[in-house]
Amino acid sequence: MLAKIDEQVKNNPVVLYMKGTPQMPSCGFSSRTAAALVETGEKFAFVNVLADQGIYQFLPKYQDWPTFPQLYIDGELQGGCDITLELAESGELKALMAAANAKVDQA
């Protein structure tokens, strides 16, 4: 299962592990995080951890981050809801996402 998570993180420039989906979030933290990503206008992938019990169980062990949501940009854990909202407020979130997406677009 950790290999599957590693593949998702490395094969998506921006991936959000969340409870629910951006359109139908299942918790307030996931809702606010997904909304911040949507507001950037940048592309991102998401994984509904409630739909895959293996990911739900093993993701906290992947980068030793115990809670959801978890945002990865360019293969690196950025953090959860609070950190994502801080990045969005500073404008850094859009810049990080754009840079990660640009690498894929150039490939």
57 and 28 in contact (C-beta within 8 Å)? no
The reply to whether 27 sits in an annotated binding site is: yes
Judge if the upstream peptide bond of residue 22 is cis by omega within 30 degrees of 0: no
> b or e along 37-52 (b: 16 or more beta carbons within 10 Å of the residue's beta carbon)?
beebebebebbbbbeb
Left (φ > 0), alpha (ψ -120 to 50) or beta: where does 73 sit? beta
Evaluate the CA torsion angle 80, 86, 92, 98 in order and state its sign.
positive
Residues annotated within a binding site:
27
Residues annotated within a binding site for [2Fe-2S] cluster:
27
